[in-house]
Structure 1
Amino acid sequence: MPELISAGVERRTFLRYTSAVGAAAALTAGLAACGGPSSTADGATDGSGRGDLIEAGLSYALSTGFDPMITSGATPYAANMHIFEGLVDLDPATLVARPGLATEMPKKINATTYRATLREGATFHDGSPVTADDVVYSFERILDPENASLMAQFVPFIDTVKAVDQATVEFKLKYPFALFPSRVSVARIVPKKIVEPDPKAFDAKPVGSGPYKFVSATREDKIVFEAYDKYNGPHPAKAKKMVWRLMSDPSARVSGMESGRVQAIEDVPYIDVKRLSGSARTESVQSFGLLFLMCNTADERFADKRVRQALHYALDTEKIIKTALVGNATAATGYVPATHPDYHKAATVYTHDVAKAKKLLAEAGVGTLEFTLLLTDTGWVKDIAPLVKESWAAAGIEATLSIAQSAAQYAKVDQGDFEVLVAPGDPSVFGNDADLLMRWFYYGFWPEKRYGWSRSAAYKKVRQTLDKAAQAPDEAGRRKLWGEVTDLVADEAALYPVLHRKLPTAWNDKALPGFRPLPTTGLSFLDVSRA
């Protein structure tokens, strides 16, 4: 599973996902056998001179099914942006919240009550109407602990959801939460009558109300979509069909782009960006997506924050960015990048300072620091691994590299069998406000189950401050408190970003009017035509 989404999953949830993947694989293999559009079978135009088929190259295979309540894979999550709607959705390129199935952003009735009205005439892909009961069901299944929904951690403030009438839904909150209108975007609305009888079948063959219908999928080959003609929302499909080629091999994606087999690819290898720019439009978009360094604070050596700080000061981050990422990243100066609307420059900024790293280790009473560094096998992460080792060696820190698939590395982490981990992560696909981004790594599962920080006074203060910020009535108050959290987690360095990377995308701008590269993993063809 791609780390940016899946790495925040509890064991019970992970086992549920694993079961779902098996069922999805069996079902989607059968669906694929039934046929579907292919690049050779479908015409390039509909006779009017305009193309009817979009083909794209995605970098990840299908690692999970499509049920939006539990999907953790980057590719199915991107697919779901086209298949499903929420009451509120995020603009895929700007991550700004906008009405989806709701006629407008949810209305605040009082401090703990909101209402939303559904778009008239909205239907699911089976032709049935989208009702308030479907909305209630979609939220209640997320909130049910037995369902182990990945989305539940983002809406802990919801107390009850009820249908006022067939088109109106009312939310009661446990406490005031100013970001409620945008946060409900994490919940996609699903048809109760289809999901409830057979959730596994739905996971394999999703039915939503979005502009594109799911046709078929094969785990390591392709996903096929077609336009939903009865869609009456603000972002109708502008192509008749889409085929997403699942190309985990970077060279295959580049070749597909150069040959014209696909009109867009994500995750362009950094070394190929310049070459591709000669025949295609390329752009590297700054993302929240980070490379983080996480220490096992249950290990007595890393219980001392000076040791953790030393690891950061010893890193030659600028060399890593210039050499391994060809300049496509920015060194972390806060928890979020400087381009983020909630950016706060941390009181502690880790510049390359070998002398300071050695001084901190000496103050901590550490003579020789040796440990095994776990890294995931994502291509660009493997590229930076030797540079990390080299940086630390210059400060007298000896790291033995252990590079393996994400699932294997996190299995060790979740068993407490690790010392230090370097890995990518990006929860901004779920939402881009600082509260959500901070809670992902600093509230609940990660600090309590992964890096052993839960007993520290600093963690208790982070929780209290985030909860206080969540209930702050004004934006200035929230930002001030988020700044305090940033300062604290930077100083503690139990888990902290090294850099925020840029995501290179390539596309044929003449063939895809309206296309925009994304600041998250995946591609979006909402409001995109095929010329």
Structure 2
Amino acid sequence: MNRKTLVLPAVVGLLAPVLVACGGTDGGSGGGGAIVVGTTDQFTATADAPAPLDPAYAYDTGAWNVLRQTIQTLMHAPRGGGEPVPDAAQSCSFTDNASESYRCKLRSGLQFADGTPITADDVKFSIERVRDIDADNGTAALLANIDTIEANGDEVAFHLATPDATFPYKLSTPAAGIVSKKNYEGKKLRDGFQVDGSGPYTMKTETKGENISRVVFTKNPKYQGDLKLLNDKVELRSFPDAASMGKVLEDGDIDVMTRAMSPEQIKDLSENPKKGIELTEMPGLEIRYLGFNTNDPSVKNKAVRQAMAAVVDRGHIAGEVYGSTAEPLYSLIPTSIAAHTNSFYNKYGEPSRSKAAEILSAANITTPVKLKLHYTTDHYGAGTAKEFEALKNQLNATKLFDVTVEGAEWSKFRPAQKHGDYAVYGLGWFPDFPDPDNYIAPFLDKGNFLNTPYVSTVVRDLIPQSRRSADRTAASKAFTQMQDIVANDVPVLPLWQGKQYVAARVGVTGVERVLNSSSDLQLWELGRGSA
């Protein structure tokens, strides 16, 4: 592995520069009808998760990508990235120098899709509802710093418990989506798949058993906001795997193939282009990692976790399993975020059995350490199973570990992980917003989405300190300290960060903008004909 590829990027702003390789999408037949988009995201309602599309519960990329089309937020991520801009709001700003009071004025004429007017009271109700329900998925943690909300006519003011310069980003997430009191109870989740809002589209779903098979998004004539829709209708189809999704793209039954394409598909389309299909590479901020239930006897001693960190070969996993679509990651914060440091590499260096053996011996850990690694079979793509087989083989080859692996569907995996049933488990993270805070707080702050028993009081003190300055580069020292603590205690073990790709049929425009760097699906960018 060439360490020169992992140098610390210069701290020049929130995001270090990233190269965008865009596929051409001009031309085409200009045919009408819904633009059909494929995804391998699964949308399932179960006894453990009966309300997968309720903004008070939803906290995964797939669900959020449905909500972003239908539920409006005060702010939204602008085209091309950068700081959030008003959507349902006409204007928003901090009203003090300490980043503790934030006020928004709503656009005039705002309505839900059924024609009901939207007021500041609806905004207050929606955000307080998320906090009151406080679902175990961790969604409410994004809004936990709100102390009080004032609503007056077309203005809403948020008073924060501690300064938070990232608050506008949090108001741009579906957790802060505006919902109607007519359709959503204040202290109870809305079961099923129905979603009502004031976003750019209305939606109808088709289901098979407990799963959504397709969602049809139709342009909402009542929408008042910042987004410009380049189509009238988009259909989102869910496929069980990347191979079946790729086949229907080649057959012409869908127009666009999004997350998650398999590494083999990406390699094939790159090296052997298919007639009428173009592949677009875009910057991504996805990371993958192992998480630990630090109360489980098998990994409670951090020496076990440190030994795993010392011996795992990230370069092999990234190269052999994911090829050019992934690169090794040595921190929770990816390399393209300016506050990144290679904390794990700095502490453990290149993979070393002898170093791992020393760590275990010094802690009087009997070897081989018996572990089971758990992963989800249907949430991150076909490469996950191969990744965990590679991890198992790496760890077992040292004779320091006796590892088995076990996969489960996301609908079973995620509840079991939250309940603490797994000692070691694999997850991915697509950021809620592109700030280093969002790679630390969701994992380590109070009410985190992992429901981890691990607590670092130092980190929990540093998180609010890091949010004080609107100049995010000023927080780099705090983030460096937090990354070093994670590398020492290993409550999570970063593995790799990925790029993202979209394949589309010629004649579909806006493909290079359908996913932003946070993997937010922006279906309104798609069109037909000339770009």
- Percent identity over the alignment? 24
Q: Please tell me the residue identity of whatever aligns with 1:54.
A: I
Partner of 1:443: 445
5 Å-filtered alignment, 1:164-183, equals 164-165=152-153, 167-183=154-170
Contact 1:58 1:245 in 2 (8 A): yes
Partner of 1:529: 527
Contact 2:65 2:521 in 1 (8 A): yes
Q: CA deviation at 1:179?
A: 1.9
Match of 2:495 among 495, 498, 513: 498
Taking a change above 3 Å as real, the CA distance of residues 318 and 304 of structure 1, as seen in their structure-2 partners, is same
SS at structure 2 position matched to 1:192: coil
Match of 2:34 among 23, 48, 53: 53
Match of 1:71 among 46, 58, 62: 58
SS at structure 2 position matched to 1:193: coil
Where relative contact order (Cα < 8 A, 6+ residues apart) is larger, the structure is: 2
Deviations 1:260-286 (A, max 9, x none): 211111211110113334132223445
Partner of 2:385: 382
Partner of 2:403: 399
SS at structure 2 position matched to 1:425: strand
- State how far apart, in whole Å, the 2-side matches of 1:416 and 1:52 are: 46
- State how far apart, in whole Å, the 1-side matches of 2:438 and 2:511 are: 29
Q: Please tell me the residue identity of whatever aligns with 1:214.
A: M
Partner of 1:434: 436
The worse-fitting range, judged by mean Cα deviation, of 471-480 and 304-313 is: 471-480
Contact 1:426 1:520 in 2 (8 A): no
Match of 1:283 among 274, 277, 280: 280
SS at structure 2 position matched to 1:144: helix
Partner of 1:210: 199
Partner of 1:271: 264
- State how far apart, in whole Å, the 2-side matches of 1:164 and 1:462 are: 37
- State how far apart, in whole Å, the 2-side matches of 1:373 and 1:392 are: 11
Q: CA deviation at 1:506?
A: 1.3
Matched, 1:154 2:153: no
Contact 1:509 1:515 in 2 (8 A): no
* TM-score after normalising by structure 1: 0.81
Q: CA deviation at 1:200?
A: 6.5
- State how far apart, in whole Å, the 2-side matches of 1:409 and 1:400 are: 16
Deviations 1:505-526 (A, max 9, x none): 2123532235424445563212
Q: CA deviation at 1:129?
A: 2.2
- State how far apart, in whole Å, the 2-side matches of 1:472 and 1:522 are: 26
- State how far apart, in whole Å, the 2-side matches of 1:102 and 1:359 are: 57
Taking a change above 3 Å as real, the CA distance of residues 381 and 92 of structure 1, as seen in their structure-2 partners, is farther
Taking a change above 3 Å as real, the CA distance of residues 510 and 96 of structure 1, as seen in their structure-2 partners, is farther
Contact 1:52 1:239 in 2 (8 A): no
Taking a change above 3 Å as real, the CA distance of residues 317 and 436 of structure 1, as seen in their structure-2 partners, is closer
The worse-fitting range, judged by mean Cα deviation, of 404-413 and 438-447 is: 404-413
Q: CA deviation at 1:99?
A: 1.6
Unaligned runs of at least 5 residues, structure 2 = 1-28, 46-51
Q: Please tell me the residue identity of whatever aligns with 1:211.
A: P
- State how far apart, in whole Å, the 2-side matches of 1:496 and 1:273 are: 26
Match of 2:246 among 235, 254, 268: 254
SS at structure 2 position matched to 1:432: coil
Deviations 1:3-46 (A, max 9, x none): xxxxxxxxxxxxxxxxxxxxxxxxxxxxxxxxxxxxxxxxxxxx
Contact 1:289 1:520 in 2 (8 A): yes
Q: CA deviation at 1:227?
A: 0.9
Q: CA deviation at 1:49?
A: 5.2
SS at structure 1 position matched to 2:141: helix
SS at structure 1 position matched to 2:279: strand
Partner of 1:184: 171
Partner of 2:43: 62
Deviations 1:96-127 (A, max 9, x none): 52221112343424533221011122222112
Q: CA deviation at 1:220?
A: 3.8
Partner of 1:420: 424
Deviations 1:104-159 (A, max 9, x none): 34342453322101112222211222221211111111221466674320122211
- State how far apart, in whole Å, the 2-side matches of 1:350 and 1:129 are: 58
Taking a change above 3 Å as real, the CA distance of residues 202 and 370 of structure 1, as seen in their structure-2 partners, is closer
SS at structure 1 position matched to 2:524: coil
Q: CA deviation at 1:338?
A: 0.8
Matched, 1:513 2:510: yes
Unaligned runs of at least 5 residues, structure 1 = 1-47
Q: Please tell me the residue identity of whatever aligns with 2:123.
A: V
SS at structure 1 position matched to 2:487: helix
Deviations 1:181-221 (A, max 9, x none): 22222301112333349977686332211111113332342
Matched, 1:339 2:343: no
